[in-house]
Amino acid sequence: MATWSNLGLQDANSPIMEQLIMFHDHAMMILVMITILVAHMMITLMFNKIINRNLLEGQTIELIWTIVPAITLIFIALPSLRILYLMDEVNNPLVTIKAIGHQWYWSYEYSDFKNIEFDSYMKPTNELELEDFRLLDVDNRVILPMKTPVRILVTSSDVIHSWTIPSIGVKIDGTPGRLNQGSFTLLRPGILFGQCSEICGANHSFMPIAIESVSTECFLNWMKNY
């Protein structure tokens, strides 16, 4: 999760987020190079005294500054499209859960194994334990096995919500009357936090998401004891 003085992205806990971070670094490298080049040219033009009053056109330079940006855009677009298609793919998920957005909490359904359903509310400040995070922890976390393909189905019962976990690179809108889906694979055990990222009303900032990534054995034990 994001911490104080953390200016970068959260540590990736899924293959998709790893790809997104690599693409971010790739795009930023190109942007920094362009910024330095343009700044150098502007400073050079401001401080030199070379003026050509008879210059009307330059076919060569115009060709260069048309082709070079086009090639640069291709280098940005190709990896971007690849990641977009990877994010949309849902291949043979082993676990499927359904998240339903409400004003202002989430409810979850595990319909693959048993008919497990529960609501997930933000913990009030006066009920927080010493290790809990204010405005992020919930009373019922989503328990999921790590290193297992997971499909998430998202919808809403009232207004538009958005189920978002930054560290796994997932942001899926919950739209009333529509079922949106996404997929992810958790790489490490731990607790992942997210929040609704669609302005959905007065308590929009008080409907967090908490996923607990555990081993497959712990996940099966949790389902048996639920």
Per-residue pLDDT tens over the stretch 172-221: 999 999 999 999 999 999 999 999 999 988 989 899 999 999 999 999 88
The answer to whether residue 196 is domain-embedded is yes
CA distance 94 to 12: 21
Residue 122 is given by DSSP the state B
CA distance 51 to 45: 10
Range of the domain at 71: 13-46+57-86
The residue type at 105: Y
pTM: 0.83
The answer, yes or no, to whether residue 106 has pLDDT greater than 80, is yes
The answer, yes or no, to whether residue 55 has pLDDT greater than 70, is yes
Residues 145 and 187 in one domain: yes
The model's confidence at residue 49, banded by pLDDT at 50, 70 and 90, is confident
Chosen domain end from 67, 86, 105? 86
The residue type at 172: I
The model's confidence at residue 37, banded by pLDDT at 50, 70 and 90, is very high
CA distance 220 to 226: 10
Domain CATH code at residue 106: 2.60.40.420
